Amino acid sequence: MDTLKGRDLLGLADLSGGEIQELLHLAAQLKAGRINLRCNKVLGLLFYKASTRTRVSFSVAMYQLGGQVIDLNPNVTQMGRGEPLVDTARVLDRYLDILAIRTFEQKELETFAEYARIPIINALTDLEHPCQVLADLLTIQECFGSLAGATVAYLGDGNNVAHSLMLGCALMGMHVRIATPAAYQPDSSIVEQAMQRAVNTEVMLTNDPIAAVKGANVLYTDVWASMGQEALADARIPIFQPYQLNKQLLSLADPQAIVLHCLPAHRGEEITDEVMEGSRSRIWDQAENRMHAQKALLASILGAD
């Protein structure tokens, strides 16, 4: 399995729609136990922000492939004492087979990729969260049998998750509606990339949550203040309140609509307890799918067989 052998994944649009479809097929096969892949390689995890799902799902995926993982907490490496990124990148390149990085600026990830020859994976930056969206697409495909033509409505902050979701929908022939307060719209460069890739599908940006959710097949939300923005969280609550994913908005979606959230959630803010625990929620399957999607990604980049 080596379709993506040696490749970086810095943003979701590094993949074509066909490559994503192949990854989702492989992930489904791995999840069902129909295929068993092995690779004796070492994955490094360099995370400058907290993580539960991404850290554990990458680690378990790598162990299940027969590989190993090194958790490179910046506080216990020389990076915490100021060793330059470009030096660290060239050294880690000599030891590891692949490196997943969670950081703030997309530029830092790109610099790592420039100086390290090994594949670099975006495990979340302020701009994108592509591994999350691979799992989201797998979940939507499991629920509806296919992706093309489905309508995804995202409510809340035009953040990293919204960005990768827009790109993922555009690449897979899905309609995507992003409803945010006016000052929190997605990054214009991502909107442009999504528009370029959306062939015969809708990419809608709106400030109206009702227009976004009407008849949609998937309702998706994320926190109103991302990691690094904690100081702004309280001031944002009244601005984002109309975008809360609650039963009133859910009642306007397609009756078979599913609810997704990348987690962690702030219950009572961007999503109600009732909707999170309700019959339309597929949030726990979505979290599980992080592991299956990333196992497929690792297997494909590392050439597992």
Give the active site residues.
102, 129, 132, 222, 262, 290
Position 221 contacts ligand NVA (CB under 6 A): no
60 binds, among ligand NVA, ligand CP, none (CB under 5 to 8 A by kind): none
Q: Toward ligand CP, which CB reaches closer, 122 or 141?
A: 122
Position 122 contacts ligand NVA (CB under 6 A): no
**169 vs 36, 136, 177, 289, CA distance in Å?**
29, 10, 10, 17
Q: Are 260 and 282 in contact (CB under 8 A)?
A: yes
52 binds, among ligand CP, ligand NVA, none (CB under 5 to 8 A by kind): ligand CP
* Candidate ranges 81-89, 188-196, 218-226, 233-241; the one touching ligand NVA (CB under 6 A): 218-226
E strands present in 51-207: 68-71, 98-102, 120-122, 151-155, 175-179, 203-206
- Rounded to a whole number of angstroms, the minimum distance from the CB of residue 159 to ligand NVA is 5
Q: Are 281 and 218 in contact (CB under 8 A)?
A: no
Q: Are 26 and 300 in contact (CB under 8 A)?
A: yes
CB-count burial class (<10 Å; 0-12, 13-18, 19+) for 196: exposed
Residues that bind ligand CP (CB under 6 A): 51-54, 124, 132, 262-264
Residue nearest to ligand NVA (CB): 226
Position 227 contacts ligand NVA (CB under 6 A): yes
Using CB under 6 A as the criterion, which residues of the chain lie in contact with ligand NVA when the complex forms? 124, 159-161, 222-223, 226-227, 262
